[in-house]
Amino acid sequence: ISTMSVAYKDQLYAELKKQHNQKGTLFEDPEFPATNSSLYFHKPPPGVVQWKRPREICENPHLFVEGISSHDLNQGIVGNCWFVAACSCLALKPDLWEKVIPDWKEQEWDSNYAGIFHFRFWIFGQWTDVVIDDRLPTINGRLIYCQSKQNNEFWSALLEKAYAKLFGCYESLAGGNTGDAVVDFSGAVAEAIDLQKEKYYADQTKEDKFFEDLLKVWNRGGIISSSIKMSQPQGFGLESRTDNGLVRGHAYSVTDVKRVRLGHGLLAYFRNETIPLIRLRNPWGKTEWTGAWSDSSEEWSKVGDTERGNLGITVTDDGEFWMSFTDWCKNFTDADVCRIINTSLISIHKTWNKEVNFGKWTRNSDPLLNRCGGCTNHRQTFLQNPQYLFDVTKESDEVLISLQQKDRKIYRKEGQGDNLSIGFTIVKVEVNRKYRLHDLVTQQLLHTSTYIDARSVFMRCELPQGRYVVIPTTFKPFTEGEFMLRLYTDVDSGCRELVKDKPQPKCWTPLCGYPQVVTHIYVDRAEIGQQDQAEGINPYVIISCESQSVRSTTKKNSLTPVFEFSAIFYRKKVAEPITVQLWSDDLGSDTFLGQVMLSGRPEDASHPQQLQLKNKGSKKADNMPGKIALRLVTSNELTAF
């Protein structure tokens, strides 16, 4: 991920620090003043707040004391365990925190100290450099928000202040999503998983696959967190404990995912018996899981001393603990899985091709210009949303899609700030589609994501070769907002927004001509007659219209191929027929299996037809053995399909 950044509020760290060093003054940030407006918009902190610089809080302040660790942090009084959990995750990843805390050695307290610090966040697709002064809110001389265990370590408190500045004030950070903060620290792709709904623990095969997925994410630098829903809303900061020591309404950072070897000595290596375990940290820095595989549980007697030493088991209430993967799936209700997608050209791991598009849901009274049509429940307006076309050029490809809306926490001061309910639909379209979709009848809706009022929605799916359109939407029509659509494929997908509704005339002379009608043709399947066996019959379809031809994929060894193949043509010469030919791919010397010729006029039948294949020549040419099933619809209205 590129670390090229833009300066938030046009405040340039190096210039501001130089100015204050020359003047011998300490920086006071006019964009985030040491006043109540930077603290809260509704609920004031419980006490008299004094803003103090670190040197007024302790004698020897540092950004880091003995390095950076997931054990450094404790939650303050604001209900932002989600942010603290994200910081714990960040501390485990040097390649990430060094981007978020740039020039960290230079930022340490020294003779150049000017009361100014800066941090970087990946905000809506762009690294953003946020400058702050180091005046921190305290009550009775103690920090009231995020803080380190060491009272002279300040990286977490300063990082939190920079994040609060982005969203208007500290109270805007009350209640949030760990995955969102992780994305802001990394540019990762977040997937929210409903563990309660999926019930992995009830299906061993499903659970095993889920563990392997998470292990792969973890080993490739990903970040995972989890939480337990409240049984009933109790407001921010009002967590309740379960009988086994877990805390509801509370975000835990995952600090390791491992298959742990059972047994002692050499015998353990020969048996190679393992159990999937997961390690978590409570942002309070205390209160741990008390069930199986907790710090002092008898299960650890099944593990050899060397293996236990490698895992760093400590029998102290430091907030970090192991549990079995099954227990994690059972006891937690939600997980945020943040993948660092590898797009590097030089890598030993799988790399992805990435396409990013930014868009807006905007309202317009003209249906052709409206771009906020709501989800598929609203069939009349659904296709009025932004549309993005992409190709799968391999026989099959795994596609990752992330839809992220612009963060709305900044609007909490105005009594708004709730996320929009968003999602997207993937539609398989004609292989030669170039213009916006206007009708669903001729299209194949393949996948629809969940719709949720989360900041981002993620989907993984396997798609066969073909052309697709992804349509990001709000749940309800006429809801305005901004979004970022990221699409990852194995090879270049050519993802781009469809903007035009129909072909534009290149010139106005009669010689150029202009499409008179639009024809949609769908070839469903074929039956190839007379042959005794399918071996060596590799059929494919070519559809020709005027000067255009499109070809389907080849079906191997089949006398009854299913093509489900469609094309669209904007036709200038309505009298010229459309030809559908069936061929067999025979390693360079292809065999003609028959064709049909169709007039494709607007008044022709538009229902599915099964037609006899004929030899080349006119419509009255000799019959060939076999039939083809298709549907052809023509309209005088160029925005019909």
Regarding whether 357 and 459 lie in a shared domain, the answer is: yes
pLDDT tens by residue, 378-398: 999 999 999 999 999 999 999
Burial class (CB within 10 angstroms; exposed 0-12, middle 13-18, buried 19+) of 266: exposed
> How many structural domains are present in the chain?
4
Nearest-angstrom CA–CA distance, 236 and 239: 8
Query: Is 397 among the domain residues?
Result: yes
Residues 41, 164, single domain; the answer is yes
The list of the chain residues with pLDDT below 70 reads 1-3, 78-79, 232-239, 268-269, 313-317, 345-349, 507-512, 530-531, 619
| Range of the structural domain that residue 266 is part of | 190-339
**pTM confidence score:** 0.90
- The predicted pLDDT at position 412 comes to 87
Whether residue 430 is found in the same domain as residue 539:
no
Coil, strand or helix at 127: strand
Q: How much is the pLDDT for 101?
A: 96
**DSSP symbol at 452:** B
The DSSP element (H or E) to which 388 belongs, if any, is strand 388-405
Query: Are residues 463 and 577 located together in one domain of the fold?
Result: no
Which pLDDT value is given to residue 236?
Answer: 43
For the question of residue 81 being annotated catalytic, the response is yes
Task: Look at residue 582 and tell me if it is in a domain.
Answer: yes
**Could you tell me if 425 and 528 lie in one domain?**
no
Whether residue 10 is found in the same domain as residue 144: yes
Domain boundary residue, one of 283, 306, 339:
339
Let me know whether 150 and 10 are in one domain. yes
Any domain includes 504: no
Does 206 share its domain with 170?
no
* Active-site annotation holder among 80, 177, 282, 357: 282
Look up the CATH number of the domain holding residue 303: 3.90.70.10
Q: What is the CATH number of the domain that holds 554?
A: 2.60.40.150
**Inside any domain, residue 276:** yes
Q: Which of 118, 250, 438, 520 is catalytic?
A: 250
Residue 118: active-site member: no
Long-range contacts of 573-579 (CB under 8 A, 24+ apart): 573/546, 574/516, 574/517, 574/600, 574/601, 576/545, 576/546, 577/619, 578/519, 578/521, 578/543, 578/544, 578/545, 578/632, 579/543, 579/544, 579/545
Query: Do residues 608 and 460 share a domain?
Result: no
Q: Please tell me the distance from the alpha carbon of residue 138 to that of residue 135, in angstroms, as a whole number.
A: 9
- For residue 540, the Cα-to-chain-centroid distance in whole angstroms is 36
In a domain, 522, yes or no: yes
Q: Are residues 329 and 460 in the same domain?
A: no
Nearest CA-CA partner of 495 in 486, 503, 504? 486
Question: Residue 239's pLDDT is what?
Answer: 60
pLDDT of residue 237: 43
Active site residue 461: no
Nearest-10 Cα torsion for 154, 119, 50, 10: 160
In three-state secondary structure terms, 625 is strand
| CB atoms near residue 308 (< 10 Å) | 13
The first and second tokens of residue 328, run together, are 């994690």
Q: Which of the residues 81, 169, 338, 545 is marked catalytic?
A: 81
